[in-house]
Chains A and B, each alone.
Chain A
């Protein structure tokens, strides 16, 4: 017999951990499944181990990171499985419960869940610049992961290119760890501060702490002595004779071409929801024009249009770690009320502080959306840029068929883009935008790849293990 749980939480980041804490406080039978070896997700990656074994590193990783250890501690008590990759959330059965299937240590396992919380987080926006596939080019987040998980840093000439809060945070973490940075290429277009100014009062009122820290990061970068190029465009990575990254070429604010030599280039153009699980359950998604990505449509508690499936944290739309904690709590309160384990009055009472935190962080996000706009060149990458990294489909090849493709799924059939192991995570948004541009329609009308289980590659052995479990 397969067990039926009140709630299965996918992801043990800020959202999933605070959801687990709320579920425990409410006495729900919850199971947390997370594919990383340790809890913490992206922001709080490895935090419990770092706090215990490498406490000195907390000094450069920052107080906000250290706070994640409290979150991990508060979430314990219920069942949490690390190294558990969820690859299927089935349709609702007659009693409304859904089958959740995951792989763990080489075998597949399943449970039935009355409610499911997708807290699988966000990913950095794919940035198809020429040369982004070269060894030596990573995301900004990857360098943070390396620092947190393994206390390793890139030696040699490090170039950070991009826009948004995360490159600022990385620059500060590297400075505090005394890791030299050769250059920062800030791709934020000019004139954004003036445009964002009218949104400042609401952000200052709503999320004063987060805003203050952001401004401090900006100041720290500009005082750090690292050369900063502003309003940079047309970044491209070029290989040396060994086939790895050697040079970063870009256009300056005044339109001149410049180059810097680099051993490592870290790219970042904002964060977008990791869409696989909300797409898998066929929840409705809406195009967010300012962030240039799809968000799952939800009610105020985070319930998607797939009944009983909630989304919390940055998988529902980028709002950052503090907001993820709040939305994780809110989704569990709604699920508990749905399961008739909590009256609506009690739900609303407990929800109040989290709702007000969420409102505040949303006000800040509106400011950030204007300060750091999602890049519009994504709809028109250079011809030679690889769009689908797995199958090596270039922007030029895609452009040649984009006008005739009814949508991303047809482009996939023509070119194999989105058919590799990443299953379109690193090309989906680009393909949508390029087709929309070619056909003169909107990304909303163009849609996205159809996502089917398994959302991560699964071996036949793992599938077989599921059958033998049934036989037993």
Chain B
């Protein structure tokens, strides 16, 4: 299973803690939700509406929408476009969460 490690270069990045599936996770200032989840070894972060197959971030640049997660109760957020913030609550997106009502 894919795992991302942090380079140990001496930087001055601030630590940020947020919740993933209710569990506390540490990230770094500058991370997006998607890169923070890669660093946390979160694995697949959504399942597809059609077959329920597992997906993870693919492009990290906003075009593929494979990184969709639920952030602070709002579904369909692109994890790779949202900077991670202190106290944020992130959940995996299962199937077509909220697609019909909330997003067109």
Residues of A within 8 A of B (CB): 35-38, 42, 46, 49, 53-54, 56-57, 83, 85, 123-124, 133, 135-139, 141-142, 145-147, 149-156, 177, 242-245, 263-264, 274, 389-392, 420-422, 425-426, 454, 457-460
Cβ–Cβ contact B4 & A389, under 8 A: no
For residue B34, give the distance in angstroms from its CB to the closest CB of chain A.
9
Cβ–Cβ contact B81 & A37, under 8 A: yes
Once bound together, how far apart are the Cα atoms of A444 and B65, in whole Å? 27
Which of the four size classes fits the interface of chain B? 35 or more
Taking CB atoms, residues of chain A closer than 8 Å to B104 are 454, 457-458, 460
Once bound together, how far apart are the Cα atoms of A457 and B29, in whole Å? 27
For residue A27, give the distance in angstroms from its CB to the closest CB of chain B.
32
Cβ–Cβ contact A153 & B5, under 8 A: yes
Q: Could you show 16 A-B contacts with beta carbons less than 8 Å apart? A: A53-B30, A54-B9, A54-B11, A133-B66, A135-B44, A135-B54, A136-B56, A142-B60, A145-B35, A149-B32, A149-B60, A244-B1, A422-B65, A425-B63, A426-B63, A459-B103
Q: Which of A146, A156, A457, A458 contacts B35 (CB 8 A)?
A: A146
For residue B33, give the distance in angstroms from its CB to the closest CB of chain A.
11
Cβ–Cβ contact B63 & A149, under 8 A: no
Taking CB atoms, residues of chain B closer than 8 Å to A137 are 58
Once bound together, how far apart are the Cα atoms of A69 and B51, in whole Å? 44
Decide if B90 is an interface residue (CB 8 Å cutoff). no
Instruction: Look across to chain B and name the residue whose beta carbon is closest to the beta carbon of A121.
Output: B61
Max chain B C-beta neighbours (<10 A), residue from A53, A152, A422, A458:
A152
Residues of B within 8 A of A (CB): 1-7, 9-13, 28-32, 35-36, 38-39, 43-44, 48, 50-51, 53-66, 68, 74, 76, 80-83, 99, 102-104
Once bound together, how far apart are the Cα atoms of A426 and B76, in whole Å? 17
Q: Which of A54, A150, A151, A263 contacts B1 (CB 8 A)?
A: A263
Taking CB atoms, residues of chain B closer than 8 Å to A458 are 103-104
Max chain B C-beta neighbours (<10 A), residue from A135, A243, A274:
A135
Given contacts A149-B35, A154-B2, contact A421 B65 (CB under 8 A): yes
Once bound together, how far apart are the Cα atoms of A46 and B68, in whole Å? 22
Cβ–Cβ contact A56 & B9, under 8 A: yes
Cβ–Cβ contact B11 & A244, under 8 A: no
Taking CB atoms, residues of chain A closer than 8 Å to B80 are 145
Max chain A C-beta neighbours (<10 A), residue from B12, B38, B102:
B38
Taking CB atoms, residues of chain A closer than 8 Å to B68 are 421
Given contacts A35-B62, A53-B29, A151-B7, 7 further A-B contacts (CB under 8 A): A42-B61, A56-B10, A83-B83, A142-B58, A149-B30, A155-B3, A242-B1
Q: Which of B9, B29, B43, B82 contacts A244 (CB 8 A)?
A: B43
